[in-house]
Amino acid sequence: MKGHVRKRGKNVWAVVLDIGYDEAGKRRQRWHSVRGTKRDAERELARLINEMNTGAYVEPSRLLVADYLKDWLADAATRIAAKSAERYQDMIEGHISPALGNIRLAKLKPLHIQRFYADRLASGRKDGTGGLSAQSVLHFHRVLHKALEQAVMWQLLMRNPADAVQPPRPERQPMTALNDDQTAELLKSLKTTRLYKPVVLAVSTGMRRGEILALQWKEIDFENAQLSVSRSLEQTRKGLNFKTPKTAKSRRRIALPGVTLRMLKAHKMSQTAEKLRLGPAYQDNDLVFPRPDGAPWRPDTFSTVFAAHVRRYKLPHVRFHDLRHTHATQLLKQGVHPKIVSERLGHSNIAITLDTYSHVLPGMQESAIEALDASLTAAIEGDG
């Protein structure tokens, strides 16, 4: 492999690589610009020739970042949930491409990305009222990093420029979990509403909203007091969609407490009576918690109704998702092993559970030490 260095201007050099001949016998070259001294250019030439010889060289391309991101998103959409694809599209079209899209992919540098993050933190809101949160910008980083990592795998880039960027570190927001009295107050206020039974299931199993709204009667094992989580309901711009969980651990079996099992049995009987009353007007999708006509709840509507109820009864501010945190926190405080809690929640690994609920663990550790102290004291004093 050959090449040479050519001066282009003051402190600007062209590194020209000879990469063979095309089908017509015309010599093919690739040009790279280098700023600095001639020695800098020669070192870059040597590095590029070495990459050519070892197969690590990536030819420069005129492909723009915006065009690449369109191609990447079209490919990624075949492997991710529709809702995730919509979020990626919103971030790319609303923020990433307008800022970085006109840069050639091969010329994208860490500094370009770092400036983009700083700009969004300072003045990224579309209404002109200030900057975006660190969490929002971190989402941009994750999407952009994933896209550029794929460009490396597709041999469009030699390295991922986002690797050398420092994304913002958002402060962890305090997690909301209801205590026993607050849980009882919430359930009492919901007793006569359609929200009561799905809320009971949420606080007694830790299931996600989409998992509860997608649950079917065939997935409840009354004899063994268990239910199976095998799908979830998501809401996209195209409508409602039942999807399989994204990880194997999300597909799980959850043991049910007696109070929840009794609630479900009574609910099944009342739902059967409702079906008979509505007749052909009832859409039988075998859903445990549908709308009155049997159709699935829209997840956003469900959460809106829940939030309105919390405000109307002046209850502690809590999202429906916080009932999942409530379930996990109550189990951990009762001394249930984090591994069991992780399995009930469907976390991909126990590290996520330990990290999410680390604030609960110190109290558990103190209780464990007290028990250990008592047993050791008894053993030592007994020997004495």
Q: What CA–CA distances, in Å, run from 292 to 96, 213, 219, 270?
A: 42, 13, 20, 12
What's the average model confidence in pLDDT over 355-367? 71
Question: 11-20, 120-129, 254-263: which range is least confident on average?
Answer: 11-20
Res 384: pLDDT? 47
Res 196: pLDDT? 96
Res 383: pLDDT? 55
Task: Pick 362 or 226 by higher pLDDT.
Answer: 226
Question: 116-125, 284-293, 368-377: which range is least confident on average?
Answer: 368-377
Tell me how far the alpha carbon of residue 67 is from its chain's centroid: 25
Res 86: pLDDT? 95
Q: Contact, 33 vs 8, CB < 8 A?
A: yes
Q: What's at 225, amino acid-wise?
A: A
CATH number of 65-164: 1.10.150.130
Task: Give bridge partners of residue 4 from the DSSP assignment.
Answer: 16
Report residue 156's pLDDT band, with 50, 70 and 90 as the boundaries.
confident
Q: Is the pLDDT of residue 252 over 90?
A: yes
Q: Distance between CA atoms of 56 and 46, rounded to whole angstroms?
A: 13
Res 365: pLDDT? 60
Name which of 178, 149, 163, 125 is nearest 318 in CA terms.
178
Report residue 177's pLDDT band, with 50, 70 and 90 as the boundaries.
very high
What's the average model confidence in pLDDT over 51-80? 86
Res 382: pLDDT? 63
Q: Is the pLDDT of residue 247 over 90?
A: no
Res 24: pLDDT? 79
Res 210: pLDDT? 96
Res 293: pLDDT? 94
Percent of the chain with pLDDT over 70: 96
* pLDDT tens sequence across 66-94: 999 999 999 999 888 899 999 999 999 99
Listed in sequence order, the DSSP H helices in 77-214 are 82-91, 97-100, 110-123, 134-153, 180-190, 196-205, 209-214
Quick one: residue 49, left, alpha or beta (phi over 0 = left, psi -120 to 50 = alpha)? alpha
Average pLDDT for the chain: 90
Mention the CATH class of domain 180-362. mainly alpha
Q: Is the pLDDT of residue 194 over 70?
A: yes
Name which of 372, 363, 307 is nearest 335 in CA terms.
363
The full set of domain ranges for the chain reads: 2-54, 65-164, 180-362
Helix (H) or strand (E) holding 326: helix 322-333
**Structure tokens that stand for 273 in this block:** 């009576």
Q: Contact, 121 vs 137, CB < 8 A?
A: yes
Res 258: pLDDT? 94
What's the average model confidence in pLDDT over 13-29? 82
What's the average model confidence in pLDDT over 8-24? 83
* pLDDT tens sequence across 316-331: 899 999 999 999 999 9
Report residue 334's pLDDT band, with 50, 70 and 90 as the boundaries.
confident
Res 1: pLDDT? 59
Res 26: pLDDT? 81
Beta strand spans in the chain (E)? 2-9, 12-21, 27-35, 220-221, 226-229, 232-236, 239-243, 252-255
Report residue 367's pLDDT band, with 50, 70 and 90 as the boundaries.
low
Q: Distance between CA atoms of 346 and 250, rounded to whole angstroms?
A: 4
What's the average model confidence in pLDDT over 152-163? 88
